[in-house]
């Protein structure tokens, strides 16, 4: 494969930028949560080891995204996509003939297709030092592991034990929007929103769960949250949004977006939706998405049957309000400084990847970044938070389907 051997300088450049405001949580920050660790020196070693372990799970999650692309992608010539991960393995747990054929087709696509999604896959494989000869076995092994995990093997495995995936979707942004409106109505939203943080904004590497790789890789949540707070009265010239993530692909993508915006280029977002499944409230959110931050634009992709598609060209001056930080919120925090804390923090589909102590550490980290009276919106927390700086404002239930079978409970906290 000729293209597999090409070294991507763009990816390397994208992960080199750093931030002087990021630091590891100190023993004094978390003494009540430190358990058997009794001194600062032992804590410093432990928290760095925890950061290393969590960052290692990013690669696992990226492998899962590539496996999803192999199973369900339609942007490369291959046998028909599988209906589910369960169809990738037989009763003995080995890959089926169709799954093996799609692995072979994907490898050919890596050599022949020059698209954003395949370039990202190439960058990951290169960084993982997978040689061309090792590629079939590596991809087949990753696909088999992914399929077995998806159908429940090995047993007793939670999301906190597996890879941290970058994948996301539009409905969770509707849930955030609806929750912010509820807080505004109840007088619980800060009156002046200037600084916002989105933790784990995600990147659709495999593609939307419905249309998969029809639209280009993108990160919607920073734009969705910006639009939500602007609709609620925040002033565009006053608002800054920091996207915090530890996935190098998410960081590189968002830094590229911010760079384009600073040079005056518009960023186009593709917004697919299934022709059935979503309830009227989610559809209405999809229909008006982008009205505040941009303008309707021609779609880049051609939607497959059963999918409707909108595209929004984001105004450069809006996208330029986004900054990007490499932060592992379990182990690290941002020293915001006096009067520079975040007024709104959104961390959705993040906490489900962490165990209980990791969740408490992440909440401690987030609380340190927030301004007094600032609010945190999140989901996936297994037990009530014990972080003394945060007061619970309860939860807000949002449904995505008419029968209520799909939805989210958004947990709300206020910083004392």
The residues, ordered by sequence, that sit 6+ positions from 311 with a Cβ below 8 Å of its Cβ are: 268, 269, 270, 271, 296, 297, 298, 299, 300
State the pTM of this model.
0.89
Local structure of 226: helix, strand or coil: helix
Task: Give tens-digit pLDDT for 323-354.
Answer: 999 999 999 999 877 678 999 999 999 999 99
Q: Which of 267, 324, 276 is closest to 297 using CA atoms?
A: 267
CATH level 2 (architecture), domain 171-415: 3-Layer(aba) Sandwich (3.40)
Domain ranges across the chain:
3-24+57-161, 171-415
User: By the 8 A CB rule, do 342 and 196 touch?
Assistant: yes
Residue position matching structure tokens 């697919």? 272
Q: In whole angstroms, how far apart are CA 160 and each of 169, 204, 209?
A: 20, 20, 21
Task: Give tens-digit pLDDT for 251-307.
Answer: 999 999 999 999 998 899 999 888 888 999 999 999 999 999 999 999 877 777 788
The pLDDT of residue 383: 76
* pLDDT over 80 (residue 376): yes
Q: Which of 208, 227, 222, 349 is closest to 273 using CA atoms?
A: 208
């Amino acid at each position: 494969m000729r293209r597999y051997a090409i070294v991507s300088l763009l990816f390397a450049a994208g992960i080199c930028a750093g931030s002087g405001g990021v630091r590891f949580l100190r023993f004094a920050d978390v003494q009540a949560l430190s358990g058997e660790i009794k001194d600062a020196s032992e804590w410093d070693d432990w928290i760095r080891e925890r950061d290393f372990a969590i960052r290692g799970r990013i690669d696992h999650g990226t492998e899962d995204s590539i496996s999803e692309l192999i199973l369900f992608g339609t942007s490369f010539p291959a046998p028909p996509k599988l209906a589910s991960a369960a169809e990738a393995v037989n009763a003995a747990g080995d890959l089926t003939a169709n799954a093996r054929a799609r692995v072979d087709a994907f490898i050919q696509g890596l050599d022949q297709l020059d698209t954003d999604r395949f370039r990202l896959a190439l960058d990951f494989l290169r960084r993982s030092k997978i040689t061309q000869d090792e590629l079939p076995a590596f991809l087949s092994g990753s696909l088999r592991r992914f399929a077995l995990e998806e159908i429940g093997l090995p047993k007793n495995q939670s999301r906190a034990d597996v890879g941290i995936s970058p994948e996301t979707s539009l409905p969770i942004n509707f849930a955030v929007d609806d929750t912010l409106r509820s807080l505004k109505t109840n007088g619980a939203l800060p009156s002046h929103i200037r600084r916002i943080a989105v933790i784990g904004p995600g990147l659709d590497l495999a593609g939307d769960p419905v249309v998969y790789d029809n639209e280009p890789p993108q990160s919607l949540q920073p734009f969705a949250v910006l639009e939500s707070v602007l609709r609620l009265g925040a002033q565009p010239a006053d608002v800054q949004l920091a996207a915090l993530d530890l996935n190098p692909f998410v960081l590189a993508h968002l830094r590229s977006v911010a760079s384009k915006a600073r040079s005056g280029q518009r960023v186009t977002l593709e917004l697919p939706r299934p022709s059935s499944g979503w309830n009227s409230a989610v559809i209405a959110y999809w229909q008006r998405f982008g009205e505040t931050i941009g303008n309707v634009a021609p779609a880049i992709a051609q939607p497959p049957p059963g999918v409707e598609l909108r595209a929004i060209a984001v105004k450069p001056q809006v996208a330029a309000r986004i900054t990007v930080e490499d932060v592992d919120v379990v182990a690290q925090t941002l020293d915001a400084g006096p009067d520079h804390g975040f007024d709104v923090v959104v961390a959705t589909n993040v906490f489900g990847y962490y165990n209980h102590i990791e969740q408490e550490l992440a909440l401690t980290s987030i609380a340190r970044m927030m301004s007094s009276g600032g609010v945190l919106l999140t989901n996936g927390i297994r037990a009530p938070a014990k972080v003394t700086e945060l007061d619970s404002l309860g939860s807000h239930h949002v449904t995505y389907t008419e029968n209520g079978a799909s939805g989210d409970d958004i947990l709300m906290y206020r910083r004392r």
